[in-house]
Structure 1
């Protein structure tokens, strides 16, 4: 069976990318380096960031599997979010783990592009856009 490109609207993909791009500056740190007295705890949107990281990992794998020809778009987007967030080493490792968990979870079960894979892509992109919008709206600067 040949791989086929997912039937995902350009608007949905553009929406996710635009929201993530808006999220990056919203997460940019506003203060100087942390001191022992100002070491940050996890932000209130931490769970949402981990879910977004998982989604980006899953979409990165599935879009490649379905011949979307996007290169490293989703991995780059994850890196931009991490760079904007500027997390501690421990938080960064956890975000990377979430991305990798999303990627590997689908890598283990999907070896060809199927209608279900396309369905997952579409749903994950919608969920990712909602999460990015929610974070940017609630916590953006």
Structure 2
């Protein structure tokens, strides 16, 4: 998780202008097929969900204002989902839905890049950087 969060933090901070917790335990059946065992989500799950929404919003706004598709935000979100939700399909769905919700929220408001869209993108990047820093500081090991 920490590696993915640091990549996201680097992305958030590099554009001009994320420990502990419960995890799924890997088990196998007789034919060695993996079986996920549900455990409670980590204490930072709500923060990760907010971060997913922010990354979706920033992805949409960056694409809108740059005029070309930029995949680094989506790729970072995918890396975070992969590292954070292995064997936990409900958490995976939740974080994916958060990302999509963030993306659609701005798609329904901005059809073209405006000064307000640029301000929103900058604010969301700052909030994302703060969230990543807090998660790493509090839950990183």
TM tier, smaller: 0.7 to 0.9
Greater alpha carbon shift after TM alignment, 125-134 vs 70-79: 70-79
Gaps of 5+ in 2: 1-7, 29-34
Q: Do the aligned partners of 2:12 and 2:126 also contact (CA within 8 Å) in 1?
A: no
C-alpha RMSD of matched pairs (Å): 2.9
Larger proportion of strand: 2
| Structure 1 residues 95 and 120: alpha-carbon distance in aligned structure 2, compared to 1, 3 A threshold | same
Structure 1 runs of 4+ with >2 Å offset: 29-32
TM-score (norm 1): 0.75
Q: How many Å separate the matches in 1 of 2:25 and 2:90? A: 19
Q: How many Å separate the matches in 2 of 1:132 and 1:89? A: 23
Q: How many Å separate the matches in 1 of 2:78 and 2:98? A: 13
Corresponding residue of 1:118: 118
Deviations 1:87-107 (A, max 9, x none): 510110010000000000100
Aligned pairs, number? 122
Q: Relative contact order (alpha carbons < 8 A, sep ≥ 6): 1 or 2 greater?
A: 1
Corresponding residue of 2:26: 33
Corresponding residue of 1:129: 129
Q: How many Å separate the matches in 1 of 2:67 and 2:123? A: 16
Deviations 1:96-136 (A, max 9, x none): 00000000010011000001100011100000000011111
1:40 CA drift (Å): 1.8
Corresponding residue of 1:139: 139
Corresponding residue of 2:31: none
